[in-house]
Amino acid sequence: MEDLGEEHLARMTTARTRELGHELHLARKRANLKATTVAEELGWSPGKLSKLERGWRQTSDWDYGTLLGKLGVDPQTRARIHRIAAEQDIGHFLREHDRRLSDNLLCLIIHERAALTMCTYEPMIIPGLLQTEAYARAVTNADGTSTSDEHEFDLAARMDRQSMLSVVRSPESVFYIHEIALQAVVGNGRIMHDQMMRLAFMCEWERLSPRVIPLASTGHPHLVHSFTLMTFARPVKPVAYSETDVVTVFSEEERSIKVFERKRKLLADLALSAEQSRSVFARWADFYDRRGDRDDDGADLAQEHLQRPRAEQLRRDRMA
């Protein structure tokens, strides 16, 4: 394996091996040791550790143990790395949230930051990467089960993730948001107004496009589950993920990716245009602004709007 070229090695990487490699890289950085020094003291060739950290190759459980011992890794991190190394690449794998939010998952973070393109769909809430801090604060502890410190930790992780959308090489991203999420009040009317305004402003961003799936589309089977599909520079294969309450499922198996590609194309057909979506966000912002002073708790806002006639407005959206 040492004689293989970089492109061939990259073809052999998977989402799991890239996560494993990044874990090893972080462990060495925390130990404040140079890769050349570690390799020399372990009697490894100069390229072996580099390829391990890039996910280009794997090694024996004994080697992992020796490396982690050299780096002085704590027991929890050691157990996690051994667990990742022992997994089989079958095209899908799970990552537990450990009673926290998915924002802290290393596999999620490293792939979002490396992506060339990203397509996300959310049927019930505003996608985490687009949330205002107030909206995120309200939605990340809606059931009140997290302690104050846990809540602040989760909130900070979500806000930190958003930074990847504003860097020079941010992925070209499309976020499909079902209109149900715009009328589902999180927090209060003021929070919803500010969130709608943020979405409207984001419609002007160069590499980001929030798109609305109108209520008239409700009922299509592909609209039931949220997902994110990421693509990368060749030869790295696309990776998709979707969340449950306790785990995030990552997929890179070819047939599964084709399913997500079909979903992406369907969403593009169902969604309003960028300009139409901006108008919808602005209209909802105006709605929450006008109602906010009368019902700052937002308790009756969504129900009131549900009772308003929608058919004519939807026709105007499509014809705009």
pLDDT at 313 over 80: no
CA 56 to the chain's CA centroid: 24
Percent of the chain at pLDDT exceeding 70: 85
pLDDT tens for 196-223 read 999 999 999 989 999 999 988 767 788 8
What pLDDT does 143 receive?
65
The yes-or-no verdict on residue 106 having pLDDT over 90 is yes
pLDDT bucket at 82, cuts 50 / 70 / 90: very high
| Fold of the 93-319 domain | Endonuclease; Chain A (3.30.870)
Of 10 and 206, which is predicted with more confidence? 206
Strand partners, 227: 121
Cα–Cα distance for residue pair 8/285, rounded to 1 Å: 51
Yes or no: say if 111 and 17 are a contact pair by the CB < 8 Å rule.
Answer: no
List the beta bridge partners of residue 243.
Answer: 248
Measuring CA to CA, how many Å separate 186 from each of 137, 160, 233, 293, 295?
Answer: 10, 21, 37, 16, 13
| Cis-peptide, bond into residue 235, ω within 30° of zero | yes
The CA distances from residue 67 to 1, 38, 81, 87, in Å, are 19, 8, 11, 19
What pLDDT does residue 217 have? 78
For residue 200, the SS3 value is: helix
Q: Which pLDDT does position 3 carry in this prediction?
A: 38
> What are the pLDDT digits (tens) for 108-125?
999 999 999 999 999 999
* Residue-by-residue DSSP string for 16-31: HHHHHHHHHHHHHHHH
Q: Which SS3 state, helix, strand or coil, does residue 289 take? A: helix
Q: Answer for the pair 181, 126: CB distance below 8 angstroms, yes or no.
A: yes
Beta bridge partners of 251: 92, 240
Ramachandran sector of residue 298 (left: φ over 0; alpha: ψ -120 to 50; beta: rest): left
pLDDT, residue 144, reads 64
Task: Say yes or no to pLDDT of 76 above 70.
Answer: yes
Tokens read off for 141: 């502890």
CA nearest 281: which of 183, 162, 208? 183
Smallest Cα–Cα separation from 63: which of 47, 48, 77, 80?
48
Output the pLDDT for position 99.
64
pLDDT at 97: 84
Tens digit of each residue's pLDDT (9 = 90 or more) over 135-172: 999 988 766 666 788 788 888 989 999 999 988 889 99
d(CA 320, CA 312): 12
Based on C-alpha coordinates, what's the Rg of the chain? 22
pLDDT in tens, 276-309: 999 999 999 999 998 765 454 444 544 444 444 3
Residue with more model confidence, 320 or 265: 265
Q: What global pTM score does this model have?
A: 0.84
Q: Which of 11-20, 143-152, 253-262 has the lowest mean pLDDT?
A: 143-152
| Largest distance between two CA atoms of the chain | 74
> What's the pLDDT at 147?
78
For 13-66, the DSSP string reads --HHHHHHHHHHHHHHHHHT--HHHHHHHHT--HHHHHHHHTTS----HHHHHH
Which CATH topology does 6-89 take? 434 Repressor (Amino-terminal Domain) (1.10.260)
For 32-74, what is each residue's pLDDT tens digit? Answer: 999 999 999 999 998 999 999 999 999 999 999 999 999 999 9
Q: Domain limits of the chain?
A: 6-89, 93-319
Q: Give, as one character, the DSSP assignment of residue 95.
A: E
* pLDDT given for residue 218 in this prediction: 67
pLDDT at res. 302: 46
